[in-house]
Structure 1
Amino acid sequence: MTSISSVAELLESFRAASSRPKLIWYGEANERIELSGRVLDNWVAKTSNLLVEELDAGDSTVVAMNLPPHWKSLVWALACWQVGARSAITEPSAEADIRLSMEADVARNDIADNGVLVFIAPGALDVRWPGELPAGSVDYAASVRSYGDVYLEEPALPDSVLATDGVRSLTFEDLASAPLAAEDQIASKEPENDDGVWLIPAALPLHTVLAAVVRIWAGGGAVVLVHPSVEVTDRLLAGERVTARLAA
């Protein structure tokens, strides 16, 4: 059982890990992004500050995460949880104060009176959304780098509801203690206390990925998240020292 019991403690563990990789993303067009604990915390802090300072997010804010599993989706989830906002992860039509999207067509159909729309360009090197933005929307890539590297506000309470999945309201404890279900797990080597390097296919639903990464990170492990277009080869598994994987 992990001793980490809150998002604040999880992010502190990232800072303590410093240069150790905590999240590696394999995307389209041979994109590989490696985020150390400190760099991941930095992205979360910047996004948290954007949420609070630009989007007025707080403990009553609902954020509709109409996103695929992606390294930026994980950053956004952690940032929402840090500021106390609740992420709706399987309810794209739910009423929300803020709506996130990586797809222009989907997002544009969701504009009218349904909260502030945030466009998230998926490329790691994207400095702005590659297209015209609707009036009143926010370009995440163009905005986030201007925000502070440290989040100084009070963190959310440990027992705060972090997410809803259409059925349940989930706290940090719910996510961190959720079993990695047998039908989802293929262990090449069984890591102790989830502290290995876990490969997670991005073909899985976002709520499955979020629950898995929280448990893995809380146990001291690292995550390799792989886009569906990327072939998982023996070379990739060996190069990233993968010890376990979840089945798509």
Structure 2
Amino acid sequence: MVSLSAPRSTGPLVLRLASSPRPALVQEPGAPDEPGAVDQRIELSGRVTVNWAAKFAGLLGAEGIGAGDAVALDLPVHWLSHALALGVLCAEAEPALEGDSPAAVLTDRPEAWPDPSVAVFAVALPRGLEPEFDGPAADPAVVDVAAEIRAQPDALPGPVDHVRPASIPAGADVAPDDDGPRPRLTWAGVRAALEAWDAGRVVTVRP
């Protein structure tokens, strides 16, 4: 396991991010009825962002998803979406791009992914800082992230030197079409976030 406690000014992107007490991920409030919006400004330090990523990397590993597995994103842009996507990379899984058959998907609409060969991680995006658990999923094959992530360790599961902007190749994301009111996070968007963090900038999610 990799400790997140030692402060770093150089080295791998994730470890530099984990050592930072400064805001790294910010979401501005949106409309009360807007899916994926938050009720008040949310600020996560680099350390807290990586804490969420580490927990999700642990959950992926517990569910058998790891090195070389392609993972699709099917979530609105949200602070938690960004943190979980970082967790995918920390687990050594790979972005699912056009032409790939994903091994897993992160989604707020599990019914859109009926293929039993795809591990479905259902994500209810909170309007605050704590993921909301609404009870057992209707489909027992679906992993409810809010219910399972709290039990995961805060430590990264292994080395994270590989997590850098160049680790996400150019390509179209694998996800169903969407006509919802809020943009959905893509792996290209995650790459942009990594570039910002690598340069010491804050990633801001706006309505």
**TM-score per shorter chain, which class?**
0.7 to 0.9
Deviations 1:157-200 (A, max 9, x none): 468974455369xxxxxxxxxxxxxxxxxxxxxxxxxxxxxxxx
Match of 1:134 in 2: 139
Q: What is the deviation of 1:142?
A: 1.0
Q: Which amino acid aligns with 2:138?
A: L
Deviations 1:55-99 (A, max 9, x none): 21221211111122211221122111112101226x4x8421111
Match of 1:20 in 2: 22
* Secondary structure of 1:34's aligned partner: strand
2:205 aligned with 1:225, yes or no? yes
2:75 aligned with 1:95, yes or no? no
Task: Give the % identical residues.
Answer: 25
Cα RMSD of the aligned pairs, angstroms, is 2.9
Q: Say if 1:167 and 1:41 are closer, same or farther in 2 by CA, change over 3 A.
A: closer
Answer 1 or 2: higher relative contact order, Cα 8 Å, separation at least 6.
2
* Secondary structure of 1:73's aligned partner: helix
In the TM superposition, what are the counterparts of 1:27-176 in structure 2 within 5 Å?
27-28=29-30, 29=32, 30-53=39-62, 55-88=63-96, 91=98, 94-103=100-109, 107-123=110-126, 124-129=129-134, 132-155=137-160, 157=162, 162-166=167-171
Q: Which amino acid aligns with 1:40?
A: T
Q: Which amino acid aligns with 1:46?
A: K
* Secondary structure of 2:28's aligned partner: strand
User: Contact 1:85–1:162 (CA<8 Å) still a contact in 2?
Assistant: no
Q: Which amino acid aligns with 1:99?
A: V
In the TM superposition, what are the counterparts of 1:160-199 in structure 2 within 5 Å?
162-166=167-171
* Secondary structure of 1:31's aligned partner: coil
Q: Give the alignment's TM-score, normalised by structure 2.
A: 0.75
Q: Say if 1:57 and 1:156 are closer, same or farther in 2 by CA, change over 3 A.
A: farther
Q: What is the deviation of 1:121?
A: 0.6
- Give 1 or 2 for the bigger CA radius of gyration: 1
Q: Which amino acid aligns with 2:22?
A: R
Q: Which amino acid aligns with 2:195?
A: R
Residues in 1 aligned to 2:17 and 2:87: alpha-carbon distance in whole angstroms: 14
Higher relative helix content: 1
Match of 1:234 in 2: none
Q: Say if 1:81 and 1:33 are closer, same or farther in 2 by CA, change over 3 A.
A: same
Q: What is the deviation of 1:22?
A: 0.6
Task: Name the count of aligned residue pairs.
Answer: 182
User: Contact 2:95–2:187 (CA<8 Å) still a contact in 1?
Assistant: no
Residues in 2 aligned to 1:116 and 1:142: alpha-carbon distance in whole angstroms: 16
Runs of 5+ consecutive residues of structure 2 not aligned to the other structure: 1-8, 33-38, 174-181
Q: Say if 1:50 and 1:156 are closer, same or farther in 2 by CA, change over 3 A.
A: farther
